Amino acid sequence: MTVDTTLAKVDADLRAGRIPVARQRLRGLVASYPADLMVRRRLAEVYRLYGEPAEPGRWSCLDADRDPDETAAFEARYPDPLDRMVAVAWRGPEESAPTATARARLAGLREAASVQAGRPVDWDPVRTRAEHTDGDDSTGTLFCAGLALVGLVLLGFAVLGAVTFVRWWL
């Protein structure tokens, strides 16, 4: 489906009051065409219908005429620049952005994320914060600790069962 065809469906969805469907169509377009600022702008418009400023700030952050309050809400929701890089859903070098403003904002965000990470980061691919941190895998550590605890409990039950079985036979 072309961008124009999908946008026509978005318009029909909005006229019919199907805001979540329109939002999903636009999210798909942004995923397919991350450099299309008009699609991002339309997604920000749909999120404004929800009355929550962080998401419009997220999708309009590359625009020259972005709303400062929405941008502040977006940055408050994603205070870490690495997380903001993921949230912006950009792919490719910032030089591929269609405007000088977007290129400068993407470069500034990447630079801030590089400072945060302590090493250079780039846009291809920015998936998760875990990919940008060295040795800070607290989720993996917690998972392993949980597995160890479950193993100890099971071992305890096995020993208790064995002792009970031996006492029963004696």
pLDDT along the chain (170 residues), means of 10: 93 97 97 95 96 96 96 97 96 94 97 95 64 47 64 76 80
Nearest to 61 by CA among 43, 28, 46: 43
Structural domain boundaries enclosing 143: 137-170
Would you state the pLDDT for residue 68?
Answer: 96
Report which DSSP code applies to 132.
G
Positive or negative torsion for Cα 73, 59, 89, 35: negative
pTM over 0.75, yes/no: no
Distance CA 53, CA 64 (A): 17
Q: Do 26 and 69 belong to one domain?
A: yes
Q: Do 90 and 113 belong to one domain?
A: yes
